[in-house]
Structure 1
């Protein structure tokens, strides 16, 4: 069953609340101030049953211009709107403003209801109807059916109810795209004996008793104790339902209008938004670089600066690509609708749709980016996912894709699988890489290693951690190593446990290096049994790089001392043989055995300990 939300809109005192009372037999003006003043200040909620048996939830939104924010809160999640226009007043300022707001918020279906018909003559009523059609021709209401009613005589109500019933039957057959949970909070209050209660329209997904959700922007855990839909307790609320939630773990002060209840990690914080906006043809305003505006999204309002992208000045009736630099972050999704109001005086001037939620700063000079943005208007989910992954420097996790798209995990999985089958994506250690990112990383790796080999021709390769620091500093070493071990890098690099080199790199000693290497080995051997220090051979760049080369297999460095591999093995084997026959040896005995001083002896013995050839026992060494 598809749950339908019916909303009212229109100028103050045009009979919206009376219309709903006649439809439902219930009051929606609940606050004492509302009843006293005769106007709706907050949102009123009720429901009624149609002849078909379907139950329709109704939102009565305020018409007074001072409470236009409340009206926009009520418009979120509406399926059908009743635009209420009084016969004795006709189209008024809030009528036009409400009509434009509904257009910008993407409301698709509507009925124009002329109220108080018994107060005017038929000829005047015809003039009002003509004025309505003329005034609303550039809004979603231009082709809406018109029903004439009177709440006192109940004239026209049967026709209105049947028309609503027909529209709900059509909506019931429409496919609903399954999405993660998202509910915009429009009221938060506390009831004695119950605790915190919040209300809103569930615009995406489902909410169930006993399950936990996330509160945005605080990111606090939300525990659902009970759910009420149309004054009836239920275990689950679904998309489209007016919903009241009893929250067990948060106070009313922790949840405000504008908050969002959503699935965990299904939304990303946005400070910069790219969007397509439309300015009202009635707006007496020009938007240019850094114009300050009010953005109404969901049930929250934030201030923002406009940065036009495809035109210098945006005038009434224009459509334009813009970047919104928000003065405080919001949580939104691609294709979300929003309303734009002027900063001062506060009037509705336009609306828009979100194209990109994760953006860097851009302006009119970024022509390539603007072209990409234009293309994004027609993106399918697969395109959105590929574009998002391709914009990062390294790989992207599934969780990051889920938060960015806000779509069901199964739907994301299907699109990721299709992209991998098309060889556009690679999955490495739970990170997704686009083909373009892989090519960029390979090119960067090649460039860095070519420079390293040129500057260090006698080193086997660049330390792996140094390469990671240059390419993907914040990446987990395990993930980085998995990337280097992947098939994509097989033809490019040699990946040893600690070093990375280009596949075709070979160490070739120059004539100068060869001569220096021979001199170093000769001097060390001539000094035996004593040990020379590495500082004796690091006077020039050539000596340093040659010494580094020799330390790979010809020499061993021990606490600054140098010893040939051959001499090291000889001393080690003699020590093992001595300990097998004598069980233990002191430092002095080891020193005398090898004609070394104490410091040199300690350097060797500590290295043998480290390699588990010997171990220290009191002031002696024994076999490990």
Structure 2
């Protein structure tokens, strides 16, 4: 993936238990109000994620204020998806609460890599309370990605404490999470609305790729195509939006009814709607009754929530704290890239049971006990780029994969894909198409076995027809792969081939003839050679004898005899190779330097009749020895 060169940027999620001061903290840090719904203001709690940002000379920090109430965990997950940094708030007068724990679990499952703990409402706590809460936080975060994190005491009524927190956040911009651009846009939508004079506007955190005005994008899972009219980032119109930024997208000619929260904007062709997802699922330690095979669970990723049947692969059952391969059968079509993280929640009672990441977003339906599928998904989950690429290409078999499709399937930019391909032993079938080295080697072995079998069954045939060989190879092999295969085997000096036949390098059909057959074949060849350019009739030479017919075909395949068709009589004339070569040499001497000649000129020079001259010249045309121009010809 190529690193995007732009000012430092962090997307920070502000999470914690309900009424632990998240919204007030964001307001104190930024001066922005994130509770925008009337119900939020009336109830004094956040229902949907709120968004604000901090700007400094070092860069920009987007702050996502996620709901803390247990009834709105779905909205919390939507807001936490894609964050790089977590501000875990804990009120000094209450300490760790249930949603504090669930929020940390969710942030961990969603891949947040850094964070700090903020003790809020320090002015409301009794003396010594902040110290006790800090100890509680240290114990609580032990063994998580936030172990040993910095802990800052704050009060929205203490300007100095807010300034300290702001300074700490800005220091994170000196070492931001490196964001990558695979060249493919992925924008889960968390809000859709209409604006007078603009039309439909969709907002979200750009997770991958870039957006630009005038760019075409897909609306998924509907599969509609749209064009970006305008972009805004932090209330400013921009020509381009980058990964990690909060962006508002004004879409041209899209009705509000045609797009919804939870939908996705993606580069054309990048994602396909699907109901099946192969995943790696990690269960939390807590559930006493882990989900079973076939159980319906809630799956949340991006800004979407969907019910899905859980199919645990490999024949076992999930245990608390375990990680395993599974397939999700969603109740409706969804769209998400490979590598996207998700949260799994039980249906009733509703609670977070685990999470994981998508390994394959276009799988076939699997049998529960298929260990090969489990092995394949284990390789995809390894995190080793070369191994993941190798597995994707291996799954494509003899069809191979185009570079663009492969890059999309592994979520890499083509530049990084090219670097990683060097470690995979993949074979380039053409400039932008690769095949697994194992698949290609197996195809080579199959082709050689087929050719050998043909030789054994047809010892007097000069070689196997190319089309016959292709028809016998694995289903799915196309002309490009077949030609590459034949050229490779010929270049490696394993086979010999011409325009229509292929044979093993050491195969010589003459060796298969016994003494009697060699004698008869010699008689047949000698008869046509003696006839020169007025050869005998084929039937006279073969005498209706099956053995002589078989040996005649052998001589034509070796090229010693050339059967030519006389269109005037509809009969086959057979010339010996010696006679044809001798005729060509005469024409070359008589008509050098592309001198033109007629059929009558050639007939007279070669001392033969029209009956033989016409098919001979037409044969030479077909062999690209001569070319006909009107009623004349010239040598090439």
- 1:179 aligned to 2:182? yes
Partner of 1:12: 18
Residues 509-541 of structure 1 show CA distances to partners (whole Å, capped at 9, x for unaligned) of 7679889999999xxxxxx99998xxx989x9x
1:298–1:545 Cα change, 3 Å: farther
Q: Partner of 2:114 in structure 1?
A: 109
Q: Residues of 1 paired with 2:114 and 2:263: CA distance?
A: 27
Where structure 2 has 5 or more consecutive residues not aligned to the other structure, the ranges are: 1-6, 526-534, 581-598, 605-609, 623-630
Q: CA deviation at 1:466?
A: 3.5
Give, in whole Å, the separation in 1 of the partners of 2:124 and 2:338. 47
What residue is the counterpart of 1:493 in the other structure?
495
Separation of aligned partners in 2, 1:530 and 1:159: 106
User: How has the CA–CA distance of structure 1 residues 195 and 412 changed in structure 2, closer, same or farther, with 3 Å as cutoff?
Assistant: same
What corresponds to 1:47 in structure 2? 53
Give 1:61's aligned residue: 66
Of 31, 44, 60, the match for 1:25:
31
Please, what TM-score do these two structures have when normalized by structure 1? 0.77
Distance 1:23 1:362, change over 3 A: same
Question: What whole-Å deviation, never above 9, does each CA across 1:97-136 have from its counterpart, x for those lacking one?
Answer: 2221111001122233343444453366666555555555
Say if 2:27 is the partner of 1:35: no
1:475, CA displacement in angstroms? 4.7
Aligned CA distance change for structure 1 residues 210 and 456 (closer, same or farther; 3 Å): same
For 1:439, which of 430, 438, 441 is the aligned residue? 441
Partners of 1:442 and 1:133 lie apart in 2 by 60
1:198 equivalent in structure 2: 202
CA contact (8 A) 1:393 1:472 kept: no
- Shifted more, 463-472 versus 339-348: the winner is 463-472
For residues 125 and 204 of structure 1, do their structure 2 counterparts lie closer, same or farther at Cα, with a shift above 3 Å needed?
Answer: same
Q: Would the alpha carbon gap of residues 41 and 399 (structure 1) be closer, same or farther in structure 2, given more than 3 Å must change? A: same
Distance in 2 separating the partners of 1:12 and 1:74:
15
Q: Do the aligned residues in 1 keep the contact of 2:67 with 2:73 (CA within 8 Å)?
A: yes
Farther-moved stretch of structure 1 (494-503 vs 370-379): 370-379
- Note the 1:378-527 alignment, pairs <5 A: 378-394=382-398, 395-416=400-421, 418-419=422-423, 425-428=427-430, 430-471=432-473, 473-486=475-488, 490-508=492-510
Task: Answer yes or no: is the 8 Å Cα contact 1:284–1:316 preserved in 2.
Answer: yes
Give CA deviations for 1:14-50 in whole Å, capped at 9, x if unaligned: 3322322222222222233333443333322222345
Between stretches 545-554 and 133-142, larger displacement belongs to 545-554
Shift of 1:162: 2.9
User: Judging changes above 3 Å, is the alpha-carbon distance between structure 1 residues 212 and 578 closer, same or farther for their aligned structure 2 residues?
Assistant: closer
CA RMSD of aligned residues (A): 4.7
Could you say what secondary structure the match of 2:440 adopts?
helix
Q: Is the counterpart of residue 160 in structure 1 residue 169 in structure 2?
A: no
2:289 aligned residue (253, 265, 285): 285
- Tell me whether 1:70 sits opposite 2:75 in the alignment: yes
**Would the aligned equivalents of 1:3 and 1:239 in 2 still touch at CA under 8 Å?**
no
CA distance in 1 between counterparts of 2:172 and 2:432 reads: 46
Once the two structures are TM-superposed, the CA of residue 219 in structure 1 deviates from its matched residue by 5.1
* Structure-2 change in CA distance of 1:59 and 1:468 (3 Å): same
**Unaligned regions of 5+ residues in structure 1, if any?**
522-527, 571-575, 582-592, 595-604, 614-621
User: Residue 379 of structure 2 contacts residue 387 of structure 2 at CA under 8 Å; is this kept in 1?
Assistant: no
